[in-house]
């Protein structure tokens, strides 16, 4: 660990020291500047949309196309103590599954969405109906459960998306 | 860098190399963590963002800020909340100002932005404790001004 100090010697035989004080000054200033300007919280965004309503009549050919598509209208209802999924498979009665808002309940909710996505791979949209007493952080957590397949993985992997489009069903004038 | 002890005339030198090492590592760390996001934004002091696993970065500054006790539109205080909520008697009166402000933004946006640009997107900065009741009311005002897509600011979860 010990290092031998090597001093350069000038023509007169006296040791020469490198003056590193200006270097330290620059480093200090740079550190101060970077500490002040550094952003330690990285800000991201979650996109949601209001329902789009139209009076246009849907063509019959479009309906046939939709039947062939493996998509399913999925409605998620968020309340303070529970989350529920309402979906109606083609030719089947409407089905509602409810889950509690605790860790296990939300995990089961996510698994249910994953299995729906496996059955109907073209589904990419969930209409979310939220009760007024639900707080914003809970909403965002549930949006993550709806949007992403693997909650530990990152979005860089495109296959991670579960139902990427979230429509806030109750934002209707 | 060197000093001389006058009593014994022995040369005492301060070893600054460890300090330089620390400085170098600190600068390297700060440069690496320096935000490369297209938009740098300081979150409002009254807002604590919720965490999310999203990787989408903030690409425009928030237009609407819903902090613990205030609602701002483009940094202008529009609504003051009482105990974080709206006094039910005055809801319409309070939010009329918000409707007017959003309408103004939508109108000015139409004037100055290119024809093909997407004007229907609005960015929200909302405190994580806020109830959906207030968020919904603000979003309804935004929808009235022809905004149909909303970007909700969140804190990206690390790791």
- Helix B132-144, helix A136-147: angle, nearest 10: 70
Quote the ipTM score: 0.76
User: Residues of chain B with pLDDT > 70: what percent?
Assistant: 81
In the prediction, which pLDDT does B152 show? 93
Which residue would you say has higher pLDDT here, A151 or B138? B138
Q: Which domains does chain A have, with CATH numbers?
A: 67-168 (3.30.420)
pLDDT value of residue A1: 45
Look at residue B44 and tell me whether its pLDDT is greater than 90: no
Of B53, B126, B154, the CB nearest to A151: B53
Going A129 to B91 to B87 to B122, the CA torsion angle's sign is: positive
User: In this predicted structure, what is the pLDDT of residue A77?
Assistant: 94
Helix (H, G, I), strand (E, B) or coil at A143: helix
Residue A156: pLDDT band with limits 50, 70, 90: low
Q: What is the mean pLDDT of chain A?
A: 80
Q: Is A56 on the interface with B (CB under 8 A)?
A: no
Interchain contact A61–B (C-beta under 8 A): no
What's the average model confidence in pLDDT over A60-78? 68
Q: Do B23 and A19 touch (CB under 8 A)?
A: no
Give the count of beta carbons closer than 10 Å to the beta carbon of residue A149. 15
Q: What are the two backbone dihedrals, phi and then psi, of residue B27, each rounded to the nearest 5 degrees? A: -65, -40
Assess contact for A160 and A153: CB atoms under 8 A. yes
Give which of A49, A52, A137 to mutate to test B binding, by max B Cβ within 10 Å: A137
Taking the Cβ of residue A35 and every Cβ of chain B, the question of whether any pair is shorter than 8 Å is answered with yes
In this prediction, residue A146 carries a pLDDT of 93
CB A34 within 8 A of CB B30: yes
Classify strands A74-78 and A125-130 as parallel, antiparallel or unpaired. parallel
A125-139, A149-163, B78-92: range with highest mean pLDDT: A125-139
Percentage of residues in chain B with pLDDT exceeding 90? 16
Give phi and psi for A82, each to the nearest 5.
Answer: -155, 165
**Chain-centre distance for alpha carbon A172:** 25
Region A4-9: mean pLDDT is 57
- Burial class of A72 by CB neighbour count within 10 A (0 to 12, 13 to 18, 19+): middle
pLDDT at A5: 53
pLDDT at position B90 is 65
For residues A67 and A70, what is the distance between their CA atoms, to the nearest angstrom? Answer: 8
Residue B119 predicted with pLDDT over 70: no
- pLDDT at position A129 is 93
pLDDT reported for residue B146: 83
- For residue B11, the model assigns a pLDDT of 75
Residue B62 CA from chain centroid, whole number: 7
Helix, strand and coil percent figures for chain A, each rounded to 5: 35, 25, 45
């Amino acid at each position: 660990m010990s290092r031998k100090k090597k001093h350069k010697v000038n023509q007169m035989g006296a040791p020469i020291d490198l003056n590193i004080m200006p270097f330290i000054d620059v480093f200090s200033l740079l550190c101060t500047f970077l500490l002040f300007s550094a952003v330690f919280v990285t800000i991201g965004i979650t996109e949601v949309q209001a329902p789009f309503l139209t009076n246009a009549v849907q063509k019959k050919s479009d309906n046939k196309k939709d039947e062939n598509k493996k998509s399913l209208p999925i409605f998620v209802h968020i309340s303070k103590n529970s989350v529920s999924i309402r979906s109606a498979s083609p030719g089947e009665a409407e089905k509602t599954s409810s889950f509690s808002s605790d860790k296990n309940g939300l995990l089961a909710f996510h698994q249910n969405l994953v299995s729906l996505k496996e059955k109907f791979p073209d589904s990419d949209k969930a209409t979310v109906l939220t009760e007024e007493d639900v707080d914003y952080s809970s909403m965002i957590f549930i949006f993550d459960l709806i949007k992403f397949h693997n909650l530990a993985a990152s979005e860089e992997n495109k296959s991670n998306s579960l139902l990427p489009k979230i429509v806030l069903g109750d934002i209707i004038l | 860098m060197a000093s001389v002890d006058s009593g014994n005339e022995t040369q005492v030198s301060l070893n600054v190399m460890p300090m330089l090492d620390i400085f170098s590592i600190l600068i390297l760390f700060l440069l690496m963590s320096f935000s490369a996001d297209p938009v740098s934004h300081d979150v409002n002091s009254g807002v604590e963002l919720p965490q999310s696993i999203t990787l989408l970065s903030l690409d425009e500054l928030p237009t609407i800020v819903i902090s613990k006790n205030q609602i701002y539109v483009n940094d202008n205080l529009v609504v003051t909340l009482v105990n974080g909520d709206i006094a039910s008697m005055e809801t319409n009166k309070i939010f009329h100002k918000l409707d007017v402000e959003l309408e103004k933004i939508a109108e000015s946006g139409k004037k100055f932005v290119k024809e093909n640009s997407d004007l229907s997107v609005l960015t929200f900065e909302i405190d994580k404790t806020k109830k959906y009741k207030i968020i919904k009311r603000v979003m309804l005002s935004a929808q009235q001004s022809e905004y149909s897509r909303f970007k909700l600011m969140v804190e990206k979860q690390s790791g």
